[in-house]
Amino acid sequence: MWFEHPRNPKSPLAGLKVVELARVLAGPWAGQILADLGADVIKVESPEGDGTRLWGPPWVERTDAHGKLHREAAYYHACNRGKRSIVADFREGNDLKRVRDLCADADVVIENFKTGSLAKFGLDFASLAARNPRMVYCSITGFGQTGPRSHEAGYDFVIQGMSGFMSVTGEPEGDPMKMGVSISDLATGTWAANGIQAALLQRERPGPMQGRGQHLDMALMDCSVALLANQASYFLNTGDNPPRMGNAHAQVAPYGVFPVSDGHVILAPANDGLFAKLASLLGRADWSDNPDFTSNAGRVGNAAELDPQIALETAKWTKAGLLAACKEHGVPAGPINNLDEVFDDPQVAARGMRIELDGMLGIRSPFSFSEGELAMDRPSPMLGEDD
């Protein structure tokens, strides 16, 4: 029944069957990426539905085929596009059998239940793989399937703090800050989708795993630590905790937010040549002759002296004027946009990032293929729409 209405055959994952036993953000985000890439994603929800359906305001209202009005949070629609929805109560025998049967020929199962809790329903990897050895089974948890915290629940905000991410985010003298989006959840979902596709490729390639699926263990904590990137390298190679820098950069200067007469702009002249161009357009060619500023290392060490001088010069410009001059001189710079400005940006419009599906607005997954196409054919499902 799931292929009565085939998705876009030009999509890279067309024909792939995914069963999503996940809710909130990390798991559904992974499922939405696969759905955008053409997979047929069947979202299995409890009778109450995914909790994010209630995470409003803001709300989105729409009417189903029977004229019933559905009121759902906009949050839910950010991570459930392109899926089907069925309702199942795992405590009910017929519902549980139905879910097991769906998994019996699934290419992928995604779940984000607490470690070990699906075993009592026979929906764990070992139970399902006995019937479907080709299945790629992705578990998404706070701390992973192993380790002393493996049975603890994980929440994005808490993980951002525990992972060290917040220690490097915020103003130097201010409080540690979380990101403005649930970065731990989103990163985990994105990496999960990547890992799932790698496991699917390994299943198809000649070798010891040909024809076999496997269990993919994704943890918010792991993914958040991985996001530390150069900050982790800073610590691991010096033994020192990297400082919070606000909008500045610990290894590049100037690199930050500077005032203009009608707001602020970002300037990022990340090498000596670009700094010379910035100095020239601001009428301060003398900076390029100052031995304290001629090298990046010098500028980093003397940022407390240089940045205020740059701010005095940029404050003489309007935002549009300075950005135009930077563009003309090849100096990396940009505005700090509100979301209305983001979606009015001609570049964002040209790339088709804003989409509309049956009156529902959203943003597409940011893949652009020379031949393949995304499967932009349906909005997020209403609860139990495909029962």
Positions marked active-site: 185
Cβ neighbours of residue 301 closer than 8 Å, sequence gap 6 or more: 292
Residue 44 forms beta bridges with which residues? 86
How far separated are the first and last CA of the chain, in Å rounded? 11
Residue 219 to residue 320: CA distance in whole angstroms: 43
Q: How far apart are CA 242 and CA 156, in angstroms?
A: 22
- Give the pairing of strands 263-267 and 360-363: unpaired
DSSP assignment of 232-270 equals HHHHHHHSPPPPP-TTS-SSSSS-EEEEETTEEEEE---
DSSP 280-323: HHTT-THHHH-TTTSSHHHHHHTHHHHHHHHHHHHTTS-HHHHH
Cα(104)–Cα(123) distance, integer angstroms: 11
* Cis previous bond, 58, omega within 30: yes
| Helical segments of the chain, H only | 26-36, 74-77, 93-104, 125-131, 156-162, 183-204, 220-226, 229-238, 272-281, 286-289, 296-301, 303-314, 319-329, 339-344, 346-350
**Count of C-beta atoms within a 10 Å radius of residue 86:** 19
Cα(298)–Cα(300) distance, integer angstroms:
5
Torsion of CA 241, 154, 49, 196, to 10 degrees: 80
Cβ distance 43 to 52 under 8 Å?
A: no
